[in-house]
Structures are given as C-alpha cells and as structure tokens.
Structure 1
Amino acid sequence: MKVALVHDYLTQFGGAERVFELLCQFFYEADVYTSLYDPQNTVDFAGRAVKTTFLQQLPGAKLGFRLFAPFYYRAFRRLDLQDYDLIISSTSSFAKGVKKKPGAMHICFCHNVTRFLWDTRTYLEEYSKFQKFYPLIKPIFQSLRQQDLQYAQEPDLYIANSTTVAKRIRQIYQRKALVINYPIDTSKFIYSAEKEDYYLISSRMISYKRLDIAIETFNWLGLPLIITGDGPERERLEAMSLDNIKFLGYVDDNWRTHLMAKAKAVVITALEDYGLVPIEANASGTPVVAYGAGGVLDTQIDGETGILFTPQSPDALQGAIEQVESQNWNYTKIREHAVNNFSESVFFQQITKVIEEFCGPSIVHNLNIKSEWLANKVPIGVDR
C-alpha cells in the first residue's frame, strides 16, 4: 500500500511541523510532499526525499511564502498523487486540496481552518506589516475563501487537534471532525516534586497571548514570575513590569525543561486553539494556571492538573494564583495525566485505530509503520 504525506509548506518549525515530523517518522516509508521546502529552517528529514511544487522554483518564495497565498491551491492540485492508496495531509491552510485517485482515502489532520481567511483581523494584528495592504488584498481573500470552502470537501475524514478546532471545521467547512489531541515527547521532560518559589510563562510575546494580564497580576501580588520567549511585545511588557518579574528571552530546551520542572505553576493567559505548553508542564509534574477556554478544556482537569480561570482578566487570574498557593498538589498524579493521555504511543494507537475503522483492518496490516511506537512509552527523567 502506497502512502503520501502532504504538508502546507516546510519553511519553518512550529507545532504543526512537529506533528508532521512525527507522522513522517511513524509512516517511515511514505513519500513526503509539500509546496515549499527550506531544509535549513524546518524538519530534519535525514536525507529523505521531499517532493515540492512549482512554487519551489519561484525567486523569494521560501522567504516570502505568505505572499504566494493565491497560488497554493493551484500548486497542490497539480501534484501527481495518482499512485497512492492513502493520502494523509497535515494542514492549517492549503494541503487539504490535493487530488486523489478514485478509491483512494484522504485523511486530513487539520490544525485549524485557514486562519488568515476566516479570522483576518486577528491574523493581521499578529502580522501587522500586512495591515496596510488589506484594502488591496481584500478581493483576493474573498476569492480564496470560495476556493477554501470548495477544496475543504476533498478529504474523506478530518482529524482535529481539539474540540475548538473541530467546532470551527464544522461551522465553516460544514464537515465533521474526529478529535485526537496532539502528543508531546514525554521522555524529554524531567519530573520534580520539589518546587521552587517562582511561576513560569513560556510564550511568544505577541498581542493575543495577553501577557499583559499576567504582568498586571504579578505586579499586584509581588510573587516571582519568570518569562521565557521573545517577540514584538517584549519591550512594552518589560516597561510595565516590576522587579519581581524577570524576562529571560530565548532559553534552550534543557534550561526550559528545568524551569518547568521546578516552577510552582506554569501560567497561560492566551486563548489557544490547542496548546502544548500546558501538557509539557504537566509532564514535568507541574500544574498550570490557564484561561479556561479553548484547548485547555481538552487537556486539563480543573483542580487536579491546574486551575482554570475566567474571565480573561487580572482579577480572575489573581484568584487562580491564590488557589495554587493554598492547594496541596499531587505532582505525581499530574505527571501521570500527561503520560497516560498525551504520549506519542497513545497518539499513534488512536491513529491506527481510526485508520483501521475507516479504511479496514487489512489496510493497517499492509502499512509500513513504526510499530514499536504503539507500545506504551512511559519513561520520564527525574530531576533530583
């Protein structure tokens, strides 16, 4: 059985690319397709061939990939996937539009609906340099929305990473979606039951993350807060912070892992579609304090793995921090929640079950997959 794996573009490395990398490792003999490929800035395929579209030959396309939005569906429609029995697309925009041969199956891992088309205002706030061009690109967006709705009907099955994304798929594309929460590599996170006297934020510093809420809260409480990450909001946020709040900027994975394991709690003030940071915190045995909407409703148990607060305000966050301070936490149980529900083995067990139910048991038997990943992988380092 021939399998093709298709991703929007491989020009960066974020959450969607991490999931695609896992899919490529699991389906280790599948052919890999994308529109644009920049091997210096994305997934390391260790010499595995990556097949691209005509966009790869256009000058400046890899750097200015967002500017080529009107051409992506055309590029994906031209990919020749007629030899494949199973197509697995990984997309938050255009890869769902590929053509399959009659009788083939197309399963789409949809990280989100095409955000810049359906949530344009928020998207332009994040990428402010495009705002001045909106009057010019508005007619293009309107045309692209029609294409997006049309090609959203191509997949036979949608898999969403959260109930929030599944709801958007249903509302906008009029398609049902199964929910399979994306995993983390639990073995990369160390566990510690010995917590130190600080709270932690690990986040890009952009407006929708609402870090200003946390800063106002911790200014008032006077409790130690460490913030890792960078972004265009950093200067403004530092200017409004008191001495109990420290900005570390970018930190490497080892230091970030240590900070997560030792924090009293990890704070999330954004409305996230899904969000891996809360699960990473739990894998470290650390509770989270999170705005109680979006993806955390899929991944957190209020009062056991963290405290969820509403509304999205400093007063509500202050109340949640006070709960953290007064509660006796079972850090081992928090870690077990992450390992038992969000490990790679659990993720791929769910995927193979879906393929078996959707395509038939014989299909799974004919797939070349990394079967050892279907065994339970529990190891987590212990920080002593």
Structure 2
Amino acid sequence: MTDFGSSESDRSLAIAHWGEHANGGGDRLAWELTRIFEDAPFYVGWRDESIEPPDVESEQLIQGMLLNRGLERGGLARQIAHLIGWQIASPLREYDVVVTSGNEPLFYVAPDDQTWVAYIHHTNRRQSDQITEIESTRFAQFQLLFHYAIRVLFDHNTHRPDLYVVNSELVKRRVERYWGVPSDKIRVVYPPVDTHEYDPTDEETGEYYMTLSRLDWHKDIDGIVTAFNELDQRLVVAGDGPERERLERMADDNIEFRGYVDEAEKSRLLSGAKAFVFNGRDEDFGIAPVEALAAGTPLLGVKEGMTQFQVVDGKNGYRYTRTDESGPSLTETVRQFETNGVEWSASEIAAFAERFSVDAFHDGMQTSVDTAVSNADVTPAWYEQYESGE
C-alpha cells in the first residue's frame, strides 16, 4: 500500500476542514492531519488564522462576497454558504486523494477517480440522537420540519466518500443508523490527545475536584454545580462559554470558576486534582477526560456516550447516572470516591490513556488512507498482466 506519510508516494493528497472555530477538538484534529501528511495543502471552509498554531497555514476554500457574508453571519446563512461552497470546491479536484474533516464537506461532489476519506466528529445531533430535546422548545413542529429537511439533505450526501473515519464506536453506530452508511465503510480512529504532555508527578494531589469544558448547555455543568452545592468539597471549573454567568450565580462558595486556562495551567490543575468530573450529554468522544487520565487523575464520569467507556469502575474512577433512580448520583459517587479511592496508581491510570495518543491517531489515519486508496482502485484484474509486462 502507498505510504502517504512518506515522501515516496506518487499520489497527491489534500486535507480539507469544514472551518476553524474556537480552537476546539475538531480544529486540533484537522491540524494534526497536516502533521501526518506533511506535504499536503490544507484547505478550510472558513479561516481564522488567529487560532492557527505556528506550524499550520490554511487556505480558505469558500470564496465570494455573498458566501463570505453568510459564513460571518452564522446560523442558517452559514450552512447555506457551506452547502453551496463545498459542492465543486475546485482546488480539491486537482488531487488524487482528499481527506476531509467535519460534516459540511459531505456536500462535496468528488471526481470519480479521486479517493475520498471523510473524518466525522459527530452526526447532526439535533436531527438524530438529540431530537427529543426539541419537544419542549417553542415552535417545536416547525423545528421538526426544519430538522427533517436537514436530514433529507444529508441523506443525499452521506454515501459518497470511499471511507468514513469516526472518533468513537458510538459515532460509528450513529453514522450507520442515521446516515445509512454500511459498517464496512467506517473505521474508528480516536482523536489525537497529547498524552505525553501530562505527567502524574507534576503536582502533588490537592484538596479539590476539577471539571473543564466549554460552558455550554450540552456539557451540563449545571449537574456538577448542583451536586457540589450539596458537598463539603472544593470544585474548580475551568473553561468559558455562554453559560458561565448563570452557573456562577447558582454556585456556592466552595466552587471556583477559573475561566480560560492556558495549556501549562491546565496541565497543573489536572495533575493536582483529586479527581476529574465530566457530565457531557452523550459525549461523542470527550478529550478533557482523557487529558485528566493522562495526568494520572481518576475520572468520575456520567454513564453515557463515550464517557462511560473511559471509566473502568473502581480502577481509574467511577461512573454515575444523571438521575438517581437508575444508579448512583454524582453526589453519592463523590462520597464513594472519598471513602474508597481507586485501585489503580496514577501511572496505571496514565497508561490507560495511551490508547488515545497522538501516535495512535497517526497510525490509524495512515492505515485508513492507505486502505481507502487500495479499495478504490478500479484497475481490471486482467489488465494487471499488461502493466507487469507479462
């Protein structure tokens, strides 16, 4: 198979990411793709060079005054700009292989002789596994009609890549169920986590618990704050977002909000925490919990989504449920942790996180691209004898 990670490949490859925003997990994954395929040009639907790392330089793919205005405006206007801008995407058509990141590039109509590998971070959540969230909203019937239209759009665009790569077994299941993609066209490659940047020996364990995420509704920091309001334990909340002011108003004095923290401070806080608490709703993957494990810190995670599989009960942490009726609550779980601790040492917890490392991501993506290229070869078997000179 062709090794696209080396200079020996005679095939050209490009990387295309839906759009840079907020220096989030999807952006970091796309930037890491440029480090695997070092000579590949990097295109983005829309660019924010202020958040790009020094070793990454992108080119904005969607151009034109009206489309750019839609990208800047956001919401439905941005989605329409992506729908129009990705279909032809002329610069991408010059390459033998394209690796895309995100959902919006699925509108791309690739040449038939091009190999296309699509990395998917999640399905359209409100149109699929989170559709029940719409029931209690205003104008629910009109929203359901809108989300149906979105599903129809994606139904016509989700069978085109040669291979899908997804960030967890959970998302693989969702891509099969909601998009109808056959299982054999999907590979799981976990997102790259800089596990080597964390060290269990960096800090002495302090007298605090920690959570870190963007403070949005789907991270459900409310549930963590409510639980710690009932506990005589200190909680540090790192991260910023639209929910911050409301969360600060509902929090008692034992809860401290740090806002955005840089990488050095994040590493120090994770290494020094008693345990990391994560309460995301049906999380697709969850990078912050893995960073905590890499720092040797036990994880108290909700028994949902991928989070439930990042916890091995009693060994590297404990799982809890969102409702008391179906299992131990977070409050009960913190008390259990205070009494029993966990079986694994900090170094054993950190070793568990290595399956999610940057190196594992590089290997997985290289293999996925090589496999897709091999499977996309349309050379008739009988023609091979002429190519070999027999």
TM-score, normalising length from structure 2? Answer: 0.81
Q: Deviations over 1:92-121 (max 9, x none)?
A: x21122222223221111001133544676
Is it true that 1:65 corresponds to 2:82 in the alignment? Answer: no
- Identity percentage over the alignment? 26
Q: Secondary structure at the match of 1:294?
A: coil
Aligned to 2:191: 182
Q: Secondary structure at the match of 2:118?
A: strand
Q: After the TM superposition, which residues 71-86 of structure 1 pair with which residues of structure 2 at under 5 Å, given as runs?
A: 71-80=81-90, 81-86=92-97
Aligned to 1:152: 158
Q: Deviations over 1:113-147 (max 9, x none)?
A: 1335446768889xxxxx88988877665433322
Q: Secondary structure at the match of 2:258?
A: strand
Mapped partners of 2:64, 2:79: distance in 1: 11
Is it true that 1:162 corresponds to 2:168 in the alignment? Answer: yes
Aligned to 1:269: 279
In the superposition, relative to structure 1, how do residues 275 and 206 fare at CA in structure 2: closer, same or farther (>3 Å)?
same
Shift in Å at residue 285 of structure 1? 0.6
Aligned to 2:358: 344
Q: After the TM superposition, which residues 210-221 of structure 1 pair with which residues of structure 2 at under 5 Å, given as runs?
A: 210-221=220-231
Mapped partners of 2:347, 2:266: distance in 1: 20
Mapped partners of 2:260, 2:113: distance in 1: 48
Shift in Å at residue 47 of structure 1? 7.0
Aligned to 1:101: 111
Mapped partners of 2:46, 2:279: distance in 1: 33
Worse-matched range after superposition: 70-79 or 306-315: 306-315
Mapped partners of 1:85, 1:166: distance in 2: 26
Mapped partners of 2:175, 2:321: distance in 1: 25
Q: 2:34, 2:56 within 8 Å by CA — same for their partners in 1?
A: no
Shift in Å at residue 352 of structure 1? 2.0
Aligned to 2:331: 318
Alignment root-mean-square deviation, CA:
2.8
Is it true that 1:249 corresponds to 2:262 in the alignment? Answer: no
Mapped partners of 1:122, 1:14: distance in 2: 26
Q: Secondary structure at the match of 1:318?
A: helix
Picking from 297, 302, 319, the partner of 2:308 is 297
Shift in Å at residue 269 of structure 1? 1.5
In the superposition, relative to structure 1, how do residues 292 and 171 fare at CA in structure 2: closer, same or farther (>3 Å)?
same
Shift in Å at residue 70 of structure 1? 2.2
Mapped partners of 2:23, 2:139: distance in 1: 26
Mapped partners of 1:277, 1:30: distance in 2: 29
Mapped partners of 1:135, 1:344: distance in 2: 44
Mapped partners of 2:68, 2:93: distance in 1: 29
Q: After the TM superposition, which residues 368-379 of structure 1 pair with which residues of structure 2 at under 5 Å, given as runs?
A: none
Q: Secondary structure at the match of 1:221?
A: coil
Is it true that 1:284 corresponds to 2:299 in the alignment? Answer: no
Shift in Å at residue 152 of structure 1? 0.7
Q: After the TM superposition, which residues 17-28 of structure 1 pair with which residues of structure 2 at under 5 Å, given as runs?
A: 17-28=27-38
In the superposition, relative to structure 1, how do residues 171 and 102 fare at CA in structure 2: closer, same or farther (>3 Å)?
same
Q: Deviations over 1:265-309 (max 9, x none)?
A: 000122211100110001111011000110123433222222111
Q: Secondary structure at the match of 2:165?
A: strand
Aligned to 1:372: none
Worse-matched range after superposition: 93-102 or 164-173: 93-102
Mapped partners of 1:185, 1:44: distance in 2: 15
Mapped partners of 1:47, 1:296: distance in 2: 30
Q: 1:55, 1:61 within 8 Å by CA — same for their partners in 2?
A: no
Shift in Å at residue 25 of structure 1? 1.7
Count of paired positions: 354
Mapped partners of 2:218, 2:21: distance in 1: 23
In the superposition, relative to structure 1, how do residues 132 and 33 fare at CA in structure 2: closer, same or farther (>3 Å)?
farther
Q: 2:70, 2:81 within 8 Å by CA — same for their partners in 1?
A: no
Mapped partners of 1:257, 1:214: distance in 2: 21
Letter in 1 for 2:351: E
Q: Show structure 1 runs of 5+ residues with no match.
A: 126-130, 364-384
In the superposition, relative to structure 1, how do residues 194 and 231 fare at CA in structure 2: closer, same or farther (>3 Å)?
same
Aligned to 1:36: 46
Is it true that 1:6 corresponds to 2:1 in the alignment? Answer: no
Q: Show structure 2 runs of 5+ residues with no match.
A: 1-10, 378-390
Q: 2:208, 2:273 within 8 Å by CA — same for their partners in 1?
A: yes
Letter in 1 for 2:38: Y
Picking from 294, 305, 317, the partner of 1:306 is 317
Shift in Å at residue 336 of structure 1? 1.1
Q: 1:84, 1:100 within 8 Å by CA — same for their partners in 2?
A: no
In the superposition, relative to structure 1, how do residues 316 and 155 fare at CA in structure 2: closer, same or farther (>3 Å)?
same
Q: 2:162, 2:372 within 8 Å by CA — same for their partners in 1?
A: no
Mapped partners of 1:296, 1:220: distance in 2: 24
In the superposition, relative to structure 1, how do residues 59 and 106 fare at CA in structure 2: closer, same or farther (>3 Å)?
closer
Picking from 345, 366, 369, the partner of 1:355 is 369
Mapped partners of 2:198, 2:241: distance in 1: 25
Q: Deviations over 1:7-42 (max 9, x none)?
A: 1122442110010000012111112222222322x3
Mapped partners of 2:47, 2:16: distance in 1: 12
Q: 2:187, 2:368 within 8 Å by CA — same for their partners in 1?
A: no
